[in-house]
Amino acid sequence: MAAATSTSLAAGRLHFSPHPNANPARLSFPASLKTPSKPVSLNLRHLTVPSAAAAPYPDSSSSSIPDLLSDKPRDECGVVGIIGDPDASYLCSVALHALQHRGQEGAGIVSTHRPSSDSPVSLRSVTGLGLVSQVFQDKSKLDYLSGSAAIGHVRYSTAGSASSLANVQPFLAGYRFGQLAVAHNGNLVNYSSLRASLEDSGSIFNTTSDTEVILHLIANSNSRPLISRIVDACEALQGAYSLLFLTKNKLFAARDPYGFRPLVLGRLRRPSRGIVFASETCALDLIEADYEREVNPGEVILVDGHDMSLSSLCLMPPKPRKACIFEHIYFALPNSIVFGRAVYSSRYSFGSTLAKESPVANADVVIPVPDSGFYAALGYASHSGVPFQQGLIRSHYVGRTFIQPEQNIRDLAVRLKLAPVKGILEGKSVVVVDDSIVRGTTSSKIVRLIKDAGAREVHMRIASPPIVGSCYYGVDTPRSEELISNKMDVEGVRNAIGCDSLAFLSLESLRNLLGKEAPSYCDACFSGNYPVPPIENEADRLLTEEEE
């Protein structure tokens, strides 16, 4: 097979460019690939890229070693899309910096490109493993992504291999009506059954990401125009998706009918008045765009690059919104407005309510687990009247790039990341506030760290209810049986962690804080009430099926 330009051919209709960043030549779409005569199986491991061609855009991957304090749920991704501005890809890269907390494994941008006024527009892509600053370190990559429209993505995987460059989005594909790029935040609960059915009808997949099925579904739809094909595809999806699609002259934004993951619409303040979509408003703030509104659950918005007109379509009959409450507990940046609420205020109120519910008699000091418990600790301290102090100092210089230690010194990892301040802790009764407990492994190390620093008592206060179930909607949580609160009651968890007392924010209080909006939030990982039934062992089924 010739080439690095080659891609797999799905049902004879879709050819797919998952990661053409290493080589601009790979971005071309030879005519022979546009009308394939038969499905072609492609083994990416056998692809070779001429070194000279690969040189301009080397893979700037960083270590994929997880954070040493990784016992937290992780959001899957962040997305941004901009249309109608000559600096679209630059603005996109800046906005992706603002969304870096939503995914650190990989980043990418696809933009429109027109070499001259009489040339046709095509899409170009740069993706890489690592942080946005690493992937786009070289300014020439952004120069290469010229054009007035772009979509970008930061990735943390819950479906698909984390270390595979092929899984880094946006995905860029060609089908019989041209090129199409997609960026996805969320997780499809029916991914493996959709994939199995597509493979049964001849589709060949290049990635292990659930996002690829969306492209195949669009390619297989018989509807016209593209917005109808997108609606067709979305009707087959179950689970969480906030999606951005880019063609040579249009940008589409779509959100699942439950609205699990956030997606907002804004407008640039600069003269272009370009349209922006982003996972969080912090991305709008950074590029000086005004927030206009959320993309509604079940809505698809089309922005036409010719006249910048907006059209909105209802994907399917609306369902009761089920926005992820964990965005407010942990994921979103505190300066964001998510689902119409200020994240900072949410966290502060979770902390102050926790103080009201679970006070600690004769406490000397309230400290946060940095950075996850910071805003809840402020609320706790304010309500309780106990002084707030920074008893743990976080090092920002270890983590992703630290070499995985030998097993026998792994317990030291927490000390590399967090340094106790003896002067604050010694001889004190300390209230330690964190946002959540997942497996409990990090919490127990933190308690030991504080006790080793001389604390007289350690009282853990958690600004969310116990996590008893896994997430199937785009958040990486361990299997339910690995969750410490699924295995034991609060006293059991306290004993395992080794603190003197432990209390969680109650589910009732969490719902009370959300007021009349409470029913519009998903709290399934705390309550077990899953809005879309999880299809258990989907991933396992896929992994264990024998290769033919």
Least distance (Å) between residue 325 CB and ligand SF4: 5
Q: Is the CB of residue 339 less than 8 Å from the CB of residue 294?
A: yes
Which residue type is seen at 253? A
Least distance (Å) between residue 305 CB and ligand SF4: 33
Both tokens of 103, joined, read: 């995914």
d(CA 184, CA 255): 10
Site for ligand SF4 contains 522 (CB under 6 A): yes
Site for ligand SF4 contains 188 (CB under 6 A): no
Q: Is the CB of residue 182 less than 8 Å from the CB of residue 244?
A: yes
Q: Which is nearer to ligand SF4, 203 or 477 (CB)?
A: 477
Q: Is 245 helix (H, G, I), strand (E, B) or coil?
A: strand
Q: Which is nearer to ligand SF4, 99 or 510 (CB)?
A: 510
Site for ligand SF4 in 246-275 (CB under 6 A): 260
Q: Which is nearer to ligand SF4, 245 or 326 (CB)?
A: 326
* Total Cβ atoms within 10 A of residue 387: 12
| Residue 324 assigned as binding residue | yes
d(CA 389, CA 364): 10
Least distance (Å) between residue 173 CB and ligand SF4: 28
Site for ligand SF4 contains 377 (CB under 6 A): no
Both tokens of 172, joined, read: 């860029």
Least distance (Å) between residue 286 CB and ligand SF4: 25
| Residue 92 assigned as binding residue | no
| Residue 434 assigned as binding residue | yes
Out of 326, 375, 380, 388, the only residue in the binding site for ligand SF4 (CB under 6 A) is 326
Site for ligand SF4 in 398-457 (CB under 6 A): none
Q: Report whether the peptide linkage leading into residue 225 is cis, meaning its omega lies within 30 degrees of zero.
A: yes
Applying CB under 6 A, the span of 89-97, 214-222, 320-328, 356-364 interacting with ligand SF4 comes to 320-328
* Rg of the chain (C-alpha set): 24
Q: Is the CB of residue 160 less than 8 Å from the CB of residue 210?
A: yes
Out of 250, 524, 532, 538, the only residue in the binding site for ligand SF4 (CB under 6 A) is 524
- Print the binding letters for residues 272-311 with ligand SF4: x by CB under 6 A, - otherwise: ----------------------------------------
Out of 237, 324, 433, 493, the only residue in the binding site for ligand SF4 (CB under 6 A) is 324
Size of site (CB under 6 A) for ligand SF4: 11
Out of 29, 525, 532, 538, the only residue in the binding site for ligand SF4 (CB under 6 A) is 525
**Which is the catalytic residue, given 77, 92, 234, 282?**
77
Least distance (Å) between residue 187 CB and ligand SF4: 9
What pairing do the DSSP bridges indicate for beta strands 323-324 and 309-314?
unpaired
Write the DSSP symbol of residue 519. Answer: G
* Total Cβ atoms within 10 A of residue 173: 27
| Full DSSP string of 277-324 | EESSHHHHHHTTEEEEEEPPTTEEEEEETTTTEEEEEE-SS-----EE
| Residue 525 assigned as binding residue | yes
Q: Is 107 helix (H, G, I), strand (E, B) or coil?
A: strand
Site for ligand SF4 in 462-501 (CB under 6 A): 471, 473, 475
Going 336 to 380 to 477 to 19, the CA torsion angle's sign is: positive
Going 493 to 497 to 498 to 502, the CA torsion angle's sign is: negative
| 282 a catalytic residue | no
Least distance (Å) between residue 521 CB and ligand SF4: 7
| Residue 242 assigned as binding residue | no
Q: Up-side HSE of residue 370: CA atoms within 13 Å toward CB? A: 16
d(CA 170, CA 191): 18
Q: Which is nearer to ligand SF4, 79 or 324 (CB)?
A: 324
Q: Is 414 helix (H, G, I), strand (E, B) or coil?
A: helix
Q: Which is nearer to ligand SF4, 106 or 262 (CB)?
A: 262
Q: Which is nearer to ligand SF4, 260 or 339 (CB)?
A: 260
Q: Is the CB of residue 344 less than 8 Å from the CB of residue 335?
A: yes
Least distance (Å) between residue 116 CB and ligand SF4: 47
Q: Is the CB of residue 507 less than 8 Å from the CB of residue 485?
A: no
Site for ligand SF4 contains 381 (CB under 6 A): no
Residues contributing to the annotated binding site: 324, 372, 434-435, 471, 522, 525
Q: Which residues are catalytic?
A: 77
Under the rule (CB under 6 A), what is the footprint of ligand SF4? 260, 324-326, 471, 473, 475, 522-525
Residues contributing to the annotated binding site for Mg(2+): 372, 434-435
